[in-house]
Amino acid sequence: MEIIILFGGVSAERAVSLTSGKRVAAALAREGHEITLFDYRFGGFSEDLLQTCRRADAVFLALHGGAGEDGRLQAELERRGIYHYTGSAPEASRLAMDKAAAKACVAAAGVPVASGVVWQPGEPLPPLAFPAVLKPLSGGSSVGLILAENATRLATFSPMEPMLCEAYLPGAEYTVGVLRGRALPVVEICPQSGRYDYAAKYTEGATLELCPAPMPPQAAEALQQTALLAFEALGLRDYARLDFKCDGSGRPYFLEANTLPGMTGTSLLPLAAATAGIPFPALVLEICGMAAARKRT
């Protein structure tokens, strides 16, 4: 196949996107596919790029965060007649990127969610139960995440963007990948520092990732079914990764959905796929195949 990979971008997750894109390109090239890598900046569609995207069998979106993942790029592609891109459609991408809206959506479908409130710039600190976790409403890769043990920790903090403030859940953290309507094996995330922040995600050896997660089969199956329920409630397609954290009693709560999850060497969706017997080249080729099918229909 001829595949164009859009990667890089200008979001806070640019470095991760560059790594994802290059790794996807290398895997597909080794399988004999014709690959074009393009460092995409939102609104930067030249006529040559448009023609390349239209001609290609699939457009692989290796962008993370910002306009590349929040539905704006997806809407621009469709406006230009390009539907054979990987991942979810514009509206589902926009919904999943807004953590508060995503939580409300999956909660309505019966998925347990952590209690939380949105803190807008310029507003006083909302009533919170401490310890609390604060994170940008539309960010990813744990960029800007704050763990506040008490109100004093936030005394001098003034948000520059909307922040989702949630009650801290002290239990285990899990993630479930979904690929073509199938839930992949559950991954348990065990950061060595105790906090799954940006450094823990992308520093080799900083986090122990257990797949399949050491949990009873019935519990793993229940979490997989919950992930599928959230995936469907959000209207996602092709693939995604859904994150959960447990309270003190071990009950899992939905945190967020990643519609264009990382494809780096430490990323969790490729790990889960490999555990399910899907090596990385086969994973990215299957994702491309789902996109390519939309060009043929």
Examine the residue annotation and report whether 166 is marked as an active-site residue of this protein. no
- Candidate list 239, 243, 253, 267, residue with the active-site label: 243
Cis? peptide before 131, omega within 30° of 0:
yes
Selected catalytic residue, list 11, 138, 141, 267: 141
> Which sign, positive or negative, has the C-alpha torsion 274, 278, 284, 288?
negative
From CA 186, how far away is CA 174, in angstroms rounded? 7
The phi and psi torsions of 32 (rounded to 5 degrees) equal 95, 10
Out of 258, 267, 286, 296, the active site residue is 258
Q: What is the dihedral of CA 35, 39, 44, 47, to 10 degrees?
A: -30
The catalytic position among 202, 238, 239, 253 is 202
Q: Work out the number of other CB atoms within 10 angstroms of the CB of residue 114.
A: 17
Is residue 258 annotated as a catalytic residue, yes or no?
yes
Q: Does residue 83 carry a catalytic annotation?
A: no
Residue 253 among the catalytic residues? no
Q: Which tokens in the block code for residue 135?
A: 């994170």
Q: Active-site residue among 23, 197, 262, 267?
A: 262
- State yes or no: is 202 an active-site residue: yes
Q: CA-CA distance, 90 to 77, in Å (whole number)?
A: 9
Instruction: From the candidates 13, 57, 98, 197, give the one annotated as an active-site residue.
Output: 13
Instruction: For residue 241, indicate whether it is catalytic.
Output: yes
| Residue 294: active-site member | no
Catalytic residue among 98, 241, 253, 267: 241
Catalytic pick among 70, 139, 256, 267: 256
d(CA 63, CA 5): 9
The residues annotated as belonging to the active site are 13, 141, 202, 241, 243, 256, 258, 262
